[in-house]
Each structure stands twice: as structure tokens, then as C-alpha cells.
Amino acid sequence: MPAAPAIEVERLVKIYKKVPAVDGISFAIAPGSITGLLGGNGAGKTTTIAMIMGLITPTSGSVKVLGADMLQQRYRVLHRMNFESPYVEMPMRLTIRQNLTVFGMLYGVSDLAGRIEELGEALDLTDLLDRPTGKLSAGQKTRVSLAKSLLNSPELLLLDEPTASLDPDTADWVRAHLDRYRRDRHATVLLASHNMAEVERLCERVIIMKQGRIEDDDTPARLLARYGRRTLEEVFLDVARRPDEVREAAQ
């Protein structure tokens, strides 16, 4: 019997002042998998992730996370998931250790001091733990956000542009860490990104969004074969530039 999906989205719609940001999308994410949500600006990736997290209430449709309906039972699963997003930050005046202590208590992490040291080592933050978060570089702040998102060893990790504003070396290092975490913990990861190379390297499956709809959904290899392209970037450009009538005919 196949395992229940970690995320189950059905006919999800979000309309802001008559403009649909997400327009009736459905998908299911298998546990232990890593899926990329690709799309240009305004494609609806962030709104979709925010609805999965329960930060935004859908206009209609349903979201189930780890078996719980996020509209009615979100508090049953919030301690089993975590996220990282460029739309939120950690308090700047608190040190990294203080911030992680507060969030660790909120998530009920056992042996919190040990877990903070462990993450400090894993994310190369040990020497910075007692420095105020506001005094870190962009790359260091991203690593702190990542530490916060891994603090409770989540079964489900939602990442919105996790390597934006990072230099290529740090970005590569973060990707390797995420991949290792996913494999070690058998965690489910949903990753929204503009970065095609990142998605190509990390993801087993890619969902391409445009104007709030799912334009395509497959493994990177099958997408490349279907579009006759060598990179996901070329596939993305094909999808982004094809007129709506071509998409409808293809569907």
C-alpha cells in the first residue's frame, strides 16, 4: 500500500480583489521526496507555499499536510514541519543562540542546547552563535534561517527561494546540506525557486506554475525529453513564452 502523501492540495484557489493568484491547482507530494515549484514572478509559488503553511487562507479548495487539514487542524502538525522564506526574518537584536533558543522552546525541541550546538557545527555557525543576528552577512543570515527551519528536525520542510542572495559557493553548500538532511531523515521537501540549476540538481519532481496554474508536472528528465531541451531553464522559457492557447491545446 503506498504511503499517504505528505502534502495533498486539491482545487486550491486564492483570489485577491478578483485577481486569481492561485487558480485551481491540485497536486500530491510523496513522503521523503523533494519537489521543486518553479515559476516566474507572480506565478503563485509563494502564495501556494503560504497556503500550505496555513499563513494564508484559501478562497476555496483544500490543503492537507501530514494528514491534517490545514484549515481546521493546523496545530496538530505545525510542530512536525518548518519553513524558510525571504518574507520573514529572525529578530536582529537577539544573538543566533538566543533566537534558536526561543524557537526551540516554541517547537518543544528536547536537549535544546545540544541541538543548537549540533546545528551550529553542521551549518558552520559555531563561532557566530553569540553574535547578534542583525550583524551577520546575507549568507550567514540565510544559514541562520536554515538552522531555525531544521531546529525541530521537521518531517516536512517548505523552502521559498532558500539560496536567493547567496554567492554560488555558499548556495552550493546549502543545497548539499539540504539534500543530505532529506536523505538522512527521510524528510519531505517542497522548494520554490527561480533557480533552474538548483531545481535540476536537487529535485526528483518539478511543478511548473504560470499565472496561478500548473503548466507542467514531471521529473526533470521527462520534462527535458518532452520539450526536447538540454536544461530546465530552456524548458522554463518555453513554458513562460508559450501563449495560453498553445497550453490549452497541449492539455
Partner 1 sequence: MRTHSESALAFSPRRVGAMMLRYWYLLRSSWPRLIELIYWPTVQMITWGFIQYYVMQNGGLLARAGGTLIAAVLLWDILFRGQLGFSVSFLEEMWSRNIGNLMMSPLRPFEFVTALMVMSIVRLAIGVIPVTLLALIFFGFNLYGLGFGLVAFFVNLLLTSWAVGIFVSGLVLRNGLGAENLAWSIMFLFMPLTCVYYPVTTLPVWLQPAAWALPSTYVFEGMRELLIEHTFRADLMLEALAINAVFMTVGVAGFLTLLKAARRHGSLMQTGE
Rounded CA separation 222/12 (Å): 26
> Which residues are registered as beta bridge partners of 209?
39, 214
Whole-angstrom Cα distance, residue 190 to residue 74? Answer: 18
Asked if 116 interacts with partner 1 (CB under 8 A), we say no
Which of 41, 72, 110, 251 binds partner 1 (CB under 8 A)? It is 72
Q: Which of residues 91-110 bind partner 1 (CB under 8 A)?
A: 91-94, 98, 101-103, 105-108
Burial of 193 (0-12, 13-18, 19+ CB in 10 A): buried
Q: Does 78 bind partner 1 (CB under 8 A)?
A: yes
79 near partner 1, judged by CB under 8 A: yes
Q: Distance (Å, rounded) from C-alpha 189 to C-alpha 205?
A: 11
- Bridge-based pairing state of the strands 188-193 and 81-84: unpaired
- Kindly tell me which residue out of 57, 126, 165, 219 binds partner 1, with binding defined by CB under 8 A: 57
Instruction: In whole angstroms, give the CA distance from residue 27 to residue 249.
Output: 21
Q: Is 130 helix (H, G, I), strand (E, B) or coil?
A: coil
Q: State yes or no: residue 73 binds partner 1 (CB under 8 A).
A: yes
Binding to partner 1 by CB under 8 A, coded x per residue (else -) over 7-46, reads -------x-x-----------------------------x
Minimal distance, residue 214 CB to partner 1, in Å: 20
Interacting span for partner 1 (CB under 8 A) from 37-45, 66-74, 182-190, 232-240: 66-74
- H or E element at residue 53: helix 45-53
Contact footprint for partner 1 (CB under 8 A): 14, 16, 46-47, 50, 53-57, 71-76, 78-79, 82-83, 85, 87-94, 98, 101-103, 105-108, 132, 148
